[in-house]
Structure 1
Amino acid sequence: MTRPFPQEFLFGAATAAYQIEGAAFEDGRTASIWDAFARVPGAVINGDDGDVACDHYHRYPQDVALMKELGLQTYRFSTSWSRVRPDGGAVNEKGVDFYSRLVDELLDAGIVPWLTLYHWDMPQALEAQGGWTSRDTVDRFLEYAGTMHDALGDRVRYWTTLNEPWCSSFLSYTAGIHAPGRMDVGDGMLAAHHLLLAHGKTVQELRSRDSSLDLGVTLNLTVADPADPDAPGDVDAARRIDGQFNRWFLDPIFRGAYPADVIRDFRTVDSSAVARWEQAVQPGDMEAISSPLDAFGVNYYHGELLAGTAPAEEPPAGDAPTERAVASPFPSHEGIHWVERGLPRTGMGWEVQPEGLTRLLQRVGPEYAPGIPLYVTENGAAYDDVREGDTVPDADRTAFLVAHVSAVRDAIDAGVDVRGYFYWSLLDNYEWAWGYEKRFGIVRVEYDTQERVVKDSGLQYARIIAARAV
C-alpha cells in the first residue's frame, strides 16, 4: 500500500557551494577556509581539494536540466561568501551574477530555489582576523547576507542562514577535524555563539526588508538513546550527547538561553573557556538569536545508543565543577561509549536508523518548534557504488532513501507538520575531509570526465516524486 504526501509537501535535493562548484579562483573568487584547510598535509584523505569538484560553476544548466528530469520540486544550494564578497570585502559582481543566473535557470525549470547563506566556507582572510571567534565576523556576515538579498530577494522566498553550526564551531574550532582546523575548547564555544548571533541578526535584517520571506536555520541533530534506560551512567551519557549536539543550538534559537547542564559540563572540561564565552555573550544577544522563524531545517543521518559511567550527584549551586566524567565539546567524549546495535551501516560506518528520524521530528516539532513548519533539509547515505554500463545499481542507497522518506511520512501521520524532504546529495561531490572517496549522490559523477549518470536511487526518487507517495 502506498501512502500519499500532503499537497504542499516539497521533494528536493541539496548541495553546497564548495562541494560542487569548482572554479575555485575564477571570476574574482578568493580562498575560503576550505581552500586553505584542504592544502594542509593530512587534513583531507588523499590530499584532495575542491578546486574543480563537480564543475557546477560551468555546468549548472546541465545540472538544472537533470533536476527537472528527476522531477525535483525544490533545490537547496548554498552561496559562496568567498565568491560574492572575496576576502570579506567589496561585492564581486561576477560572483553575484552566477547565483542570479542559477536562480533564473531553476525558476525557468519550475524548481523552487532554497538558498543557504553559510555552508562552512568563510573567506580565509576573515579567518586570519579571528574567524568565528571574532564578533566582527558577525557584521561581515550581515553585509554578505544583505548583498545576497539585494541580488536575489525578488526571486528567492526560502532563506536558510546557517547549515549545521555544530560542525562549523565544534568540529572546526575545537576538534580540528574541519576547516579552519583549530583545537581549542574556548574557540569552539565562541564560534558557536557568534554563528548563532549571525543567524539571529540576519533573520532580523532580512525580515525588516521583506516580511514575505520564509526565514530559517538548519541544524544537524541526532537521537541519543541510553543503552539501559535504568542505568544512571547510560542516561547521563545520552543527556550529555543530546545536550552538546542538539540542545546547545536548539535552546538558544527557540528558548533564548543556553542549557545550564551543558554549561556545567563545559566548565568541568575547561573553566577558562567558559569564562571567555560568558564575556562574549552580550546584552541583547539572546533576543537576537531567538528571533522568530518561519521554517526549521533538520539534518539527520543516524542516531546513537550510548553507555557511560555513573554520574556523581547533581552539581551544587553556582555551577561549581565536579569530578564526574563529562562530555568534551567534540566527539571524543570522556566516559561515553557507543554501543553496537547490529544495524546495517553505510559506507561512512554510520548506522541506518530510519525510525530515529521519525522520533526526532516528533520531538523537535512539539518541544521546540510548535507552529513552525519542519523540513528535512539533509538525509542521505554514502555507499561504494559500482557503475555497470549506463546504470548504477545502488540497492542499499535506494533502500535507505525509501525507508527515510517513509519515516518522514510516519512523522506526518503522527501529527508533525513536516513540509519537505531534501535528499543529500543530488551529485556525488567533494565530501570535506573525505575528499572524493565517499559518494552520497543519487547522480554519479565521473570526476575525470564530469559525466553524470543517474543511479537507481535517483530513478526511485523520481518515481516517488511523480507519485507523491511512498
Structure 2
Amino acid sequence: MWGAATAGHQVEGNNVASDIWLLEQIKPTLFSEPSGDACDSFERWREDIEIVQSLNLNTYRFSVEWSRIEPAEGQVSLSALDHYRRMVLACREAGLAPIVTLSHFTSPRWFAAKGGWFHPDAPTVFARHAERVIRHLGESVSHVITFNEPNLQLLGEWGRTPDPAVRQTMTDMLAAAAKASGSDRFSLMNTGDAAAMVAPVLEAHRQARQAIKGVRPDLPVGMTLAIPDDQAVGPDSRIEEKRATVYAPFFVEARQDDFLGVQTYSRSLIGAEGPLPVPEGAERTQMGDEFYPQAIGASIRYAHAQTGRPILVTENGLATQDDTVRARFIPAATAAVLAARDEGVPVIGYLHWSLLDNFEWFSGYGPKFGLVSVDRATFKRTIKPSAQILARIARSDLSR
C-alpha cells in the first residue's frame, strides 16, 4: 500500500464537541492558536480523496471523530456515521484502500469530563464506539487503527525534566476545562500521568479489537506507535531503559494484533544521561528534529523484531517550509523502507504524513507537513512538487 494520511481534528474543522476544541478556547491554554475551520475537509473530503488518487497512491488513512458521532453521551449521530461511510465508499470507488483510525488523540468533551481514560468504564465505552463505527462503515474498510501513538507522552517525557512553566500551564488548562465542564477531572490522551494511562488504554484497545472482530473477523486491527530511530551513544547508554518504558508494554499487546503501525520522523541519540541534543550543525526540521530520513528503516526492523507483526508505516515525513527539503526526504525515506522490505521484513505499506498542511496541535498552523498546501483564507489545495516524487516512487513500485 502506498498512501497519505490525515486526522479528523487536524483537517476537518469545527470539531466543537471534542475535548481538544475546548482546550484551544480555554484560558490559559498551551495551544498557540485554535483549529477553527482547519482545512475544511469535513466539506471538501471528496477533493482530498481525488488528490490522493491523482498521485498514483492506492491508500488513504483518515480518522473518524468520536465527538461528531457521539456529541453527547448516548446521543449517536447517524448523519455523522453516514458521512464517514460515504468517505469509505468514495475511497473504494477511487481505487483507494480506506484505513480508518478510531482515536487520533481526540475524544468527546463529555468523555474527558468523566475522567477520560481513567474512568473505570472507559474501555467498555470505547469498545462500544468501535463496534458502532465498524458496523456502520461496512465491508469496505481496509484496516482499522484503534489508537494513534498512545505512547507519545511517554516518549516525550522519558529522560527529560519537564519545563515547570509548561507543566503548570497544563495543570491550569485542565483545571479550567474541568470547571467549564462542571466536572472534577478533565482528562484526555497524552496529558496527565502518562504511566498510569498505559493500562486503561491497552485494555480499551483489547476490548475494541474484540468488538471489531465480532463484527468483521477478517478486518485487520492494530495500533500505531511513535518510534524514532533510537541510537545508543557510549557503553553506558540508557537505550534499553527507554525501550522498556516507552515501547515494551505496547509491543506485548501488539503481538496479538494483525499489524503494527510505525510512525517515525527522525533519530534519537541516547547516552548515559538520557536523550542527547541534535548534533551541532545538523540540518533541522521546523519541529526541531534532525533531518534524518533513513531513520524509518531502523524503526521498521526494530518494531518487527520485537513483535513479529507485519509493519505498516502509518506516518513518516517532516515539517518544512521549503518543499525542496521534502523532495530530498521522500526518496531517502522510501528507499529505507524498501530496503527493509527486501531484507524480508513484512512491510505492508507506506503512508506519508501528511496529505495536507494542517493543524499541528500545540504548534497551530506553523509547521508544514503536507504534500499539498492549503490556502488559509480560501482552502484552495495546491499539490507541491514533492508529492509528484512520491507519486513516481509509488507508481514504480506498484508496477513491479
Q: Which amino acid in structure 2 is aligned with residue 419 of structure 1?
A: I
* Cα distance in 1 for residues equivalent to 2:217 and 2:253: 23
Specify every segment of 5 or more residues in structure 1 that has no aligned partner in the other structure, as ranges.
1-9, 26-30, 255-291, 310-334, 386-393
- Between the aligned partners of 2:86 and 2:278, the Cα distance in structure 1 is 48
Counterpart pick for 2:340 among 383, 392, 411? 411
CA distance in 2, matches of 1:64, 1:186: 36
SS at match of 1:117: strand
Aligned to 1:296: 260
Distance 2:286 2:223 in 1: 28
Cα distance in 2 for partners of 1:382, 1:409 equals 22
Separation in 2 of the partners of 1:226 and 1:58? 46
Q: Percent identity?
A: 32
Deviation (angstroms), 1:21: 0.5
Amino acid at match of 2:342: D
One-letter code of the match for 2:259?
Answer: A
Are 2:297 and 2:336, in contact at CA under 8 Å, matched by a contact in 1?
yes
* 1:227 paired residue among 216, 228, 233: 233
Q: Is the 8 A contact 1:170 1:189 kept in 2?
A: no
Which residue is 2:179 aligned to? none
Contact 1:306 1:339 in 2 (8 A): no
Report the counterpart of residue 307 of structure 1 in structure 2. 271
CA separation of 1:181/1:380 partners in 2, compared to 1, >3 Å: closer, same or farther? farther
Structure 1 residue 303: deviation in Å? 1.6
2:145 paired with 1:144: no
- The one-letter amino acid of 1:148's match is V
1:199 maps to what in 2? 205
SS in 2 for 1:363: helix
- CA-to-partner distance for each residue in 1:169-202, whole Å, 9 max, x for gaps? 7869x96499867899973223221111111111
Helix, strand or coil at the partner of 2:317? coil
Q: 1:183 to 1:415 in 2, by over 3 A?
A: closer
d(CA) in 2 for partners of 1:338, 1:68:
40
Matched residue type, 1:211:
P
Q: 3-state SS of the aligned residue for 1:12? A: strand
| Residue of structure 1 equivalent to 2:364 | 435
1:378 to 310, 315, 333: 315
CA distance in 2, matches of 1:209, 1:399: 43
> In structure 1, which of residues 326, 345, 358 is the aligned counterpart of residue 284 of structure 2?
345
Q: Which amino acid aligns with 1:187?
A: D
> Which residue is equivalent to 2:94?
109
**Where does residue 294 of structure 2 map in the other structure?**
355
Whether 1:158 and 2:130 are equivalent positions in the alignment is no
Alignment of 1:212 onto 2:218: yes
Cross-structure match for 2:18 = 32
Match of 2:178 in 1: none
Alignment deviations for residues 395-452 of structure 1 (CA, whole Å, 9 cap, x no partner)? 1011111111011011112221101000000000000001111110000001111010
Structure 1 residue aligned with 2:383: 454
64 and 72 in structure 1: CA distance in 2 versus 1, 3 angstrom threshold:
same
Partner SS for 2:225: strand
Determine if contact 1:365/1:374 at 8 Å carries over to the other structure.
Answer: yes
**Number of equivalences:** 377
1:78-124 CA-to-partner distances (Å, cap 9, x unmatched) read 10000111134221111111101111211111111100110011111
| Residue type of the alignment partner of 2:9 | Y
Instruction: Mark the CA change 1:169 to 1:139 in structure 2 (over 3 Å): closer, same or farther.
Output: farther
CA contact (8 A) 2:115 2:187 kept: no
Give the aligned partner of residue 13 of structure 2: 22
Call closer, same or farther: CA 1:239–1:169 in 2, change over 3 Å: closer
| 349 and 213 in structure 1: CA distance in 2 versus 1, 3 angstrom threshold | same
Partner of 1:390: none
Aligned-partner Cα distance in 2 for 1:429–1:381: 13
TM-score (normalised: structure 2): 0.87
Q: Identify if the C-alpha distance between structure 1 residues 185 and 155 changes in structure 2 by more than 3 Å, giving closer, same or farther.
A: closer
Q: Give, as a single letter, the amino acid of the residue that structure 2 aligns with 1:450.
A: F
Preserved contact between residue 251 and residue 306 of structure 2 (Cα < 8 Å): no
SS at match of 1:396: helix
The RMSD of aligned alpha carbons is 2.6
Shift of 1:51: 2.6
Task: Say whether residues 1:239 and 2:240 are aligned partners.
Answer: yes
Change in Cα spacing, 1:169 to 1:208, as seen in structure 2 (3 Å) is farther
Measure how far apart 1:149 and its partner are: 1.1
Greater Rg over alpha carbons, structure? 1
- For residues 18 and 183 of structure 1, do their structure 2 counterparts lie closer, same or farther at Cα, with a shift above 3 Å needed? closer
Structure 2 CA distance for partners of 1:145 and 1:90, relative to 1, 3 Å: same
User: 2:366 is matched by which residue type in structure 1?
Assistant: E
User: Is 1:87 equivalent to 2:64 in the alignment?
Assistant: no
Q: CA deviation at 1:23?
A: 3.6
Alpha carbons 1:73, 1:112 under 8 Å: kept:
yes
Change (3 A) 1:142 1:169: farther
- Structure 1 residues 304 and 169 mapped into 2: Cα distance closer, same or farther (>3 Å)? closer
Cα deviation code 1:34-54 (max 9, x no counterpart)? 1011123463454x2223100
Work out whether residues 128 and 211 of structure 2, in 8 Å CA contact, stay in contact via their aligned partners in 1.
Answer: no
- In 2, Cα distance between equivalents of 1:429 and 1:185: 22
Q: Is the 8 A contact 1:163 1:219 kept in 2?
A: yes
- Greater displacement, 51-60 / 349-358: 349-358
Aligned residues of 2:64 and 2:101 also touching (Cα < 8 A): yes
In the alignment, structure 1 residue 11 sits paired with structure 2 residue 17: no
Check the 8 A contact 1:375/1:419 in 2, yes or no.
yes
Paired with 2:74 and 2:118, the residues of 1 have a C-alpha distance of: 18
Q: Report matched runs for 1:269-284 at 5 Å.
A: none
Per the alignment, do residues 42 and 114 of structure 1 end up closer, same or farther by CA in structure 2, a change over 3 Å counting? same
Q: What is the distance in 1 between the residues matched to 2:336 and 2:392?
A: 17
Distance 1:194 1:171 in 2: 20
**Offset of residue 71 of structure 1:** 1.6
Q: Deviation of residue 461 (structure 1)?
A: 1.2
- Corresponding position of 1:321: none
Q: How far off its partner does 1:130 sit? A: 0.6
Q: Deviations over 1:267-324 (max 9, x none)?
A: xxxxxxxxxxxxxxxxxxxxxxxxx221211011112112234xxxxxxxxxxxxxxx
